[in-house]
Amino acid sequence: MFIDEIEIHVRSGKGGDGVVHFRKEKYVPRGGPDGGDGGKGGDVILEVRPTLNTLHFRQKERFAADDGRPGGKQNMTGRSGQDLVLPVPPGTLVYELSEAGEPALLADLTASNQRIVVCRGGRGGRGNTHFKSSTHQVPRTAEKGEPGQEKRLKLELKLIADIGVIGVPNAGKSTLLSVLTNARPKIASYPFTTLEPNLGVAQIDEDTTIVLADIPGLIEGAHTGAGLGHNFLRHIQRTRVLIHLLDGFSEDPLADYSQINSELSLFDPYLSQKPQIVALNKIDQAPVKERYEQLKKAFKRKKVNLMGISALARTNVRDLLDQAAARLAETPGLEAAEMPMPIFSAPEDPRDFTILREDDGGWRISGTSIERSAAMTYWEHAESVRRFQKLMQRLGVDEALRTAGIESGETVRVADFELEWQE
């Protein structure tokens, strides 16, 4: 099944915990601290696989990388968590969704084997060997591993093809694609046979191949969601040349031509500027052949050259392909300035926190840095608790709580942890 838009939830691995340990060996008095660091959590990575042409996450929409392992004695560092690599097809746009569901573009993945780290694994916590000093030779504190990151992502696929074949339903686009390329799309004589875009590769000469995409039929109102075309108009955006195929048995092929171009312009004004090769299909049929010359003159008055082909009988299809290839050679690719640019998010300031009074009279401290530090604290170790208190002082949290009117004995909550305020 073809999937070109999906939302997934990803989580990177938590860092391994650092440990509190002291060297204990015979004939080595006062061996000192030797607690090792925890391993790094695994990253979540999206990687382009050129062999894919659909987003294949239908059966599973939640993904998590491995956590890092805790450290050990003798300064042994824990094993790092394995990265989670999710393969995506070329042409995948990656958006991060906010809590309100607003998308922010992270990357446009087009190149083969291109990678992006969407969630970085948490760093491993430091063992107690890092906290020793000349005045503090027996540190009984360490750090827990940094929590992993969690994100909701929206993946949107825009197929990468050199030439797009467009037209009204039942114009013969799938038949033309099967004749020009190695593609084998489903073909029948009723409208909307094509329910998903199809890709095919055409051989121009020994050294040149081009990729063609058959876009499902467009009808009036497609840009607003009517019919099947609205879901697939985005796939035309990456093509450089369009083959506009007209149904020879249509009541008014010229009106079909105008209607399709209008839908393209309303969806994306840039689409109307793409070069088009316009062809009337089914001229092997007598009624179509009789009206071809008249239609050709009508199109000429619109300054459009109309060529006649028959995809089924393979009449003039090679000439059509050669014309499209020639226009493709003359048409530059999409400039880098026209490509969507990723949105850069500056790292959060550690002093960026909020304090709120809760309904039960307690206080809630919120902020990425302070919550991460709380999660990395060994609350069962008195020294670790004192380190966290000093951190609150450095960040200005203590002063902010006093300014807000906190009193002794009141509860202060940071993430899932509760503290009691004492002056």
> Quick check: is 343 in a domain?
no
The pLDDT, as a whole number, for residue 295 is 92
Which of 306, 336, 366 lies at the terminal end of a domain, its last residue? Answer: 336
Binned at pLDDT 50, 70 and 90, residue 342 comes out as: very low
The pLDDT, as a whole number, for residue 336 is 39
pLDDT tens by residue, 212-255: 888 775 644 443 444 444 455 777 777 889 999 999 988 898 98
The pLDDT, as a whole number, for residue 334 is 52
Task: For residues 372 and 322, state if they share a domain.
Answer: no
Q: Is residue 328 predicted with pLDDT exceeding 50?
A: yes
> What is the spatial distance between Cα 377 and Cα 370, in angstroms, rounded to a whole number?
11
Task: For residues 181 and 328, state if they share a domain.
Answer: yes
Largest CA distance in the chain: 107
Instruction: Supply the pTM of this predicted model.
Output: 0.71
pLDDT tens by residue, 361-405: 889 999 888 888 999 999 888 888 888 888 888 888 888 988 888
Mean pLDDT of 248-274: 84
Which of 137, 157, 177 lies at the terminal end of a domain, its last residue? Answer: 157
Distance of CA 113 to the CA centre of its chain: 14
> Quick check: is 411 in a domain?
yes
The pLDDT, as a whole number, for residue 340 is 43
Q: Please report where in the chains the tokens 């360490």 appear, as a residue.
A: 142
> Quick check: is 7 in a domain?
yes
Task: For residues 76 and 148, state if they share a domain.
Answer: yes
**CA angle at residue 399 from 397 to 402, to 5 degrees?**
110
> Quick check: is 346 in a domain?
no
| Residue among 20, 14, 15, 23 nearest 127 (CA) | 20
The pLDDT, as a whole number, for residue 164 is 85
Task: For residues 328 and 402, state if they share a domain.
Answer: no
Task: For residues 329 and 271, state if they share a domain.
Answer: yes
| Residue among 185, 175, 271, 255 nearest 219 (CA) | 255
Q: How long is the chain?
A: 423
Mean pLDDT of 19-39: 88
Task: For residues 142 and 252, state if they share a domain.
Answer: no
Which of 157, 189, 220 lies at the terminal end of a domain, its last residue? Answer: 157
Question: Would you give the end-to-end CA distance of the chain in angstroms?
Answer: 63
> What is the spatial distance between Cα 81 and Cα 64, in angstroms, rounded to a whole number?
11
> Quick check: is 348 in a domain?
no
The pLDDT, as a whole number, for residue 231 is 58
Q: Please report where in the chains the tokens 């042994």 appear, as a residue.
A: 76
CATH of the domain at 167: 3.40.50.300
163-166 and 84-88 as β-strands: parallel, antiparallel, unpaired? unpaired
| Residue among 309, 296, 228, 295 nearest 263 (CA) | 228
Binned at pLDDT 50, 70 and 90, residue 286 comes out as: very high
At 94, list the tokens. 């990656």
What is the extent of the structural domain holding 255? 163-336
pLDDT tens by residue, 3-12: 668 899 999 9
Task: For residues 63 and 33, state if they share a domain.
Answer: yes
- Position 311, amino acid: A
How many domains are contained in the chain? Answer: 3
The pLDDT, as a whole number, for residue 256 is 87
Mean pLDDT of 165-174: 82
> Quick check: is 347 in a domain?
no
Task: For residues 324 and 197, state if they share a domain.
Answer: yes
Q: Is residue 326 predicted with pLDDT exceeding 80?
A: yes
Mean pLDDT of 268-275: 82
Q: Is residue 31 predicted with pLDDT exceeding 90?
A: no
Task: For residues 180 and 304, state if they share a domain.
Answer: yes
Task: For residues 118 and 62, state if they share a domain.
Answer: yes
pLDDT tens by residue, 75-125: 999 999 999 999 998 888 899 998 888 888 888 888 888 899 999 999 999
Binned at pLDDT 50, 70 and 90, residue 188 comes out as: very low
- Position 276, amino acid: Q
CATH of the domain at 144: 2.70.210.12
> What is the spatial distance between Cα 203 and Cα 201, in angstroms, rounded to a whole number?
7
Mean pLDDT of 36-42: 95
Task: For residues 198 and 150, state if they share a domain.
Answer: no
The pLDDT, as a whole number, for residue 350 is 63
**CA angle at residue 133 from 128 to 135, to 5 degrees?**
125
At 262, list the tokens. 């209008």
> Quick check: is 194 in a domain?
yes
5-11 and 84-88 as β-strands: parallel, antiparallel, unpaired? unpaired
Least confident of 132-141, 172-181, 198-207, 338-347: 338-347
> Quick check: is 200 in a domain?
yes
Task: For residues 297 and 377, state if they share a domain.
Answer: no
Q: How many CA atoms lie within 13 A of 250 on its CB side?
A: 22
3-class secondary structure, 80: coil
